[in-house]
Structure 1
C-alpha cells in the first residue's frame, strides 16, 4: 500500500523527505516518490491544497520509535515518542504541507 500525499511544491516535498532519510525520485513535474524501509509515499501536486481541509495521514509501524525519532530529530515538526495506554510507543511528524506521519512500536516488556 502506498499513501498519496498532496503537496503544493514537489521539489520542496522531495527535499523534505530526503532530509528524513528517504530515497526520493520524481516521475514528472507533478508527481514524485519518497521511500524508506519498504514504505513508499506518493507525492502529488495539488494546486488548491489546503492543509486544513485536504492533508493526508499515514501510520508507520516501526521496530523502534525512539530510533526513528532520533533520526528525524533535526527536522522541524517531529514529536518525540510517548508511551500510550494501548501498548505502543508513538511519535509524529508533520510535513510542510500538513501531512501527518505517525509512527509507533510496541512498548518494551514490563514498560
Structure 2
C-alpha cells in the first residue's frame, strides 16, 4: 500500500497556536521579531513569520494558558543569541513570558524554550559542533 502513495515535496509546516486574545498575541509575536499579518477573512486569525518559520495564531474560545500543551520545535543557527533577544523583549514589555537559557542536551543540541502569553511552547535549538 505504501508504494501506491504519490510522492510529494513538503515545503514547510506551520503549527496553529490557540490564543486567548489575538491582539495581544499579534503584539507579542511582533515584539519577538515576527512579521505578523491578520487574516483578512477572519478577525480571529493571524499569521506570524520569521525567516522560513510560520506560526498561525487562532483566537480560541476557552483556551486556558495553564493547561495548553501546544508546542513547536524550531532549528536556529544560534540558540543563545535567540534566547538573549527574547529575554530582552520579555523584560522590556508587558509580556511576562519566560525564555529559558539554552543547555546542551545528551542528543547533541543546544536547546532553549520560550512560552508565549497563552502557554504555547516554542522550543529552539542548534546542533552542537563536535
TM-score (norm 1): 0.92
1:83 aligns with 2:104: yes
User: For 1:52 and 1:79, how far apart are their aligned partners in 2?
Assistant: 18
* Alpha-carbon RMSD: 1.2
Which runs of 5 or more residues in structure 2 are unaligned? 1-12, 91-96
Structure 1 stretches of 4+ with a deviation exceeding 4 A read none
Which runs of 5 or more residues in structure 1 are unaligned? none
Offset from partner CA, 1:78-107 (integer Å, 9 cap, x none): 111011111100000000000000000011
Q: Which residue pairs with 1:31 in the alignment? A: 45
User: For 1:96 and 1:54, how far apart are their aligned partners in 2?
Assistant: 11
1:61 aligns with 2:75: yes
The number of aligned residues is 109
Between 71-80 and 2-11, report the one with greater CA deviation. Answer: 71-80
TM-score (norm 2): 0.79
Larger Rg: 2
The answer to which structure has the higher strand fraction is 1
Q: 1:44 aligns with which of 26, 34, 58?
A: 58
Q: 1:10 aligns with which of 14, 22, 26?
A: 22
Deviation at 1:64, TM superposition (A): 1.2
